[in-house]
Structure 1
Amino acid sequence: MTSDVSSPKNPLLSSPLAPAGVAAPQREERAATTAGQLAALRAGDPALVVEVSLDADLAGWLEAMGIGPGQTLTVLRRAAFGGPIHVRAGSGGEFAIDAALARSILVAPVTSQGRRA
């Protein structure tokens, strides 16, 4: 008698398990919950600032403009050839951020309610 391990009849194999024994998120969920660089976001993507990896003075300046941990940002447009990224902060301010600076800002996608995905 052979058993088909990919069969949907086997409930243990219908949901992949993480090492801790908890059901692992599906590929789409994993992508939505991972943090990445602001520089990697596409136009129209809203995100929550998780971390700013810059010296204290520059990080403080960005936070004063509304670009700090816990703040939401939306990418409005991206310049060609690795140029600046035009973003809107949750406070309503719009800024052009140098691509190198945007690589130092860690963000996570947010849901339509403004919460981290």
Structure 2
Amino acid sequence: MNKEYIIKDILNFILIDGKINQDALSSDLIKNKDKILKYLNNGYKVSTVSTIQQCEICNKPAGPINYFSDGYWIWPKWLNHYLTEHNIKFPKKFLERMELNNYNIDKNFVRQVLEDDNTILE
């Protein structure tokens, strides 16, 4: 029997009824913000959509609705805007995964997970 992979959708942790959870925003400095941003930018591209997401907070374009993954989590490109402009706080388990990966993404592993028929998106 093959191993079952589960990829967690970050939006399930930061959205409530399709809107950014205000409790996920912080005025505090985000530890390792540059490393987190690099990690988000270096994810394996899962899908591309030509639509641009508007920011709910500042009403500026937040970025494309392209999705990226590290094989454990999946996130939209526009999340970068919320990190850089509004200090969004990520779930502890997401940050722990980044640290465990030493802020690097093994794209071969991601490809393996995404191509596996047993992979589940949560």
Mark yes or no: TM-score above 0.5. no
Q: Larger relative CO (CA 8 A, sep 6+): 1 or 2?
A: 2
- When you count helix as a share of all residues, which structure comes out higher? 2
Q: TM-score, normalised by structure 2?
A: 0.22
Q: TM-score, normalised by structure 1?
A: 0.22
